[in-house]
Amino acid sequence: MQKQQLATFNALANGARASAQVPSYKQSLAKIVLQFSGSITKALIDEIVLKVGSRTVFGPVSGAQLDKLMKYRGQYDHANFLSIDLTERTLQNAYEREVGAIDIPHLGGDAIFVEVLNSAVSGTPALAGTVQYTGIQFHPAKDATAATVKDQQLIAKLLRYSIPTSGTRFTWQPNFKGAKIKRIHFVYTGTDWTGSADGNLYQVEARLNGVAVHDRVSCLANRFAQQEHKRVPQAKTYTIDFIEDDLLGKSLNTAGAKSLEFIGDMTAADTITAYVECLDLPGNL
C-alpha cells in the first residue's frame, strides 16, 4: 500500500474549517489518517467531510462520532490519530476489502477534498494527514464513454440522516436509490445500554419490500451477535450490521426496492441520528 503525505490544510485556525486536497495519483484512495496536535483533539472536531468535487460522500461526522464508528470495526485507537477508512480490513478477500476505495482516475476529473471543522477557541492548532492508496478497483467496459464511466464505479460512503420520531417510536422510510447498505448506526441521546440491559433504543426492525430483514432484535441480543463476530458495540448506539460476519455479499441491496422502512422502539422519547455506511455510485446519494 502506497502512503503519501496529505497536502497542507488551508485556513487552519481555531473555530475555522480547514481543507486539503488529496493528491490525484492514478490509484485508488483507500484511507486518510488524520493526525491532531496542539489545540486540536478528536473531541473538538465538530465536522469531518470528504468530498468528490462538490458532493459530500463521507460525513458530515464529528471526530468523536467517527472515532466510535471506527472502534466498532475494531480499528486501533489512538488519542492523536483518526482514520477515514473506505476499506473493510476484516472481509474475506482483497476484492471485498478494497471495493469501496475511490478510483481517482475514473472520477471524470473531479478532485477529492477533506474538510475538518475545529471548534477549539484557544491554543495553536496543528493538523496533518497521511493518504493511503491501493490499486485500481474499477475497470470500465471497453465501450464505456468518458461521460458514463464516472457513474459506474462503486465507492464507500458514510452519510448522516436525522430521523423523525414520534413519542417512543420512529418509522423511517429512506430512499437509498439502489445503494448497497453495509451497516446503519442509530445513535441516540437517552439512557445507554449496559452489559446486561438494553439501551433506550431497545429494538429496531428493518423491512425490505414488506419482509423483515432485521426482525425487532433486542439491543442486548444484537450486541451479543456482533461481539461474537469481533465487533465492538459503542455507547448509545444501536447498529444494524448486515455484514457483521464479514461477508460483503450480505449487504442490503436496495436496487429495485419498492419499499424500505426502519421501525425503532424506545422506552422514552429521544433524538435519533442515523449514520449509513454503504457502497454507492459517486453521483447517486
Whether residues 84 and 163 fall in one domain = no
Torsion of CA 143, 144, 145, 147, to 10 degrees: 170
Let me know if residue 198 belongs to a domain: yes
Whether residues 112 and 195 fall in one domain = no
Which pLDDT tens digit goes with each residue over 191-218? 999 999 999 999 999 999 999 999 999 9
Whether residues 271 and 195 fall in one domain = yes
State if pTM tops 0.75: yes
Which pLDDT tens digit goes with each residue over 109-166? 899 999 999 998 888 999 999 999 998 877 776 656 655 555 578 999 999 999 999 9
% of the chain surpassing 90 pLDDT: 80
Whether residues 147 and 161 fall in one domain = no
Whether residues 7 and 148 fall in one domain = yes
As given in the structure block, the three cell numbers for residue 240 are 444494524
Whether residues 32 and 114 fall in one domain = yes
As given in the structure block, the three cell numbers for residue 211 are 419482509
Whether residues 145 and 96 fall in one domain = yes
Domain boundary among 107, 133, 153: 153
Q: In terms of C-beta density within 10 A (0-12 exposed, 13-18 middle, 19 or more buried), how is residue 85 classed?
A: buried
Domain holding 71, by residue range, is 2-153
Domain boundary among 128, 153, 178: 153
Let me know if residue 121 belongs to a domain: yes
Whether residues 26 and 142 fall in one domain = yes
| Total tally of structural domains belonging to the chain | 2
Whether residues 141 and 36 fall in one domain = yes
